[in-house]
Amino acid sequence: MTEQIHDVVRDHYARAALTVLEGGSSCCGDAPEAIGYLPADLGALPDAAVLASLGCGNPIAVAELRPGERVLDLGSGGGIDVLLSARRVGPTGHAIGLDMTDEMLELARRNAAAAGATNVEFVNGQIESIPLPSESIDVVISNCVVNLAADKSAVFAEIARVLRPGGRVGVTDIVADDSLDPAERAERGSYAGCIAGALSFSEVRAGLARVGLVEIEVVPTHAVTQGMWSATIRARKPTTPQPV
């Protein structure tokens, strides 16, 4: 089942990347201006990075990045949030994009080259098994991708593992009302369309708490369909281990 989900998601986003690589616009997702990106930020990016935006919010606004930080974007797609992160963390910082779709990685690398970004890199891998050392990241961001993962518990555990003590999470994603069971979520949209695989508000909070993260906030921003919301998700890794 896990591989089936990966294959469906990979195929969907490979086709979206190829559309942009061939000069078109991605077929889905809200326009970046409609989900909180500033025109000034978008104007400084390559057109292909903006055209490939497939998110449901602006994690850069959630993460509150600072100069010198190391940022990891889970499911980085065409690289819009990696490039914006790179500008905020500056030359002493570093922005890493992780994606499992070769076509998206190719597009992202082209966009980074076009932007002249030198403090970025894009890595091939799955967000359930992040190919980075433990405690190597200051901030984990993601834009409408955790809902696509086949194993959300593994994603939360990996986020906690790669974060340095005191590190934080700034994510936007689709979240379901607690009253909706998985079957009802699936009735509202597909897995690749970011609906069927969404967790509920309580499931997100419990999943993050289970791996030891604290100061957890899951706040809806706008409805995407009945009982389903785009939400901002914040959390922090404690500076010292917490009692079990």
pLDDT, tens digit (0-9, with 9 covering 90-100), for 167-216 = 999 999 999 999 999 999 988 887 777 788 899 999 999 999 999 999 99
pTM here is 0.90
More confident residue, 93 or 15: 93
DSSP letter, residue 191: T
Given 3-state DSSP classes, what are the helix, strand and coil percentages for the chain, each rounded to the nearest 5?
40, 25, 35
Kindly indicate the confidence band of residue 32, based on its pLDDT and cuts at 50, 70 and 90.
Answer: confident
pLDDT at 205: 98
Locate 204 and state its tokens: 């997100």
Work out the average pLDDT over 122-147: 96
Kindly indicate the confidence band of residue 152, based on its pLDDT and cuts at 50, 70 and 90.
Answer: very high
Average pLDDT of the chain to the nearest whole number: 89
Kindly indicate the confidence band of residue 236, based on its pLDDT and cuts at 50, 70 and 90.
Answer: very high
| Residue whose tokens read 């499911």 | 75
Q: Residue 53 pLDDT more than 90?
A: no
More confident residue, 28 or 202: 202
CA distances from 21 to 98, 110, 133 (A): 19, 9, 32
| 3 state SS of 15 | helix
Pick the CATH number of 2-236 from 3.40.50.150, 2.40.30.110, 3.40.50.920, 3.30.1490.20: 3.40.50.150
More confident residue, 35 or 203: 203
- The DSSP string of 85-142 is HHHHH-TTSEEEEEES-HHHHHHHHHHHHHHT--SEEEEE-BTTB--S-TT-EEEEEE
pLDDT at 41: 85
Q: Which residues are within 8 A (CB) of 74 and not within 5 positions of it... i.e. 6 or more apart?
A: 98, 127, 130, 140, 141, 142, 145, 146, 155, 159, 171
Kindly indicate the confidence band of residue 27, based on its pLDDT and cuts at 50, 70 and 90.
Answer: very low
pLDDT at 219: 97
Percent of the chain predicted with pLDDT > 70: 85
pLDDT at 191: 77
The domain spans of the chain are 2-236
* C-beta separation of 203 from 173 below 8 A: no
* C-beta separation of 228 from 186 below 8 A: no
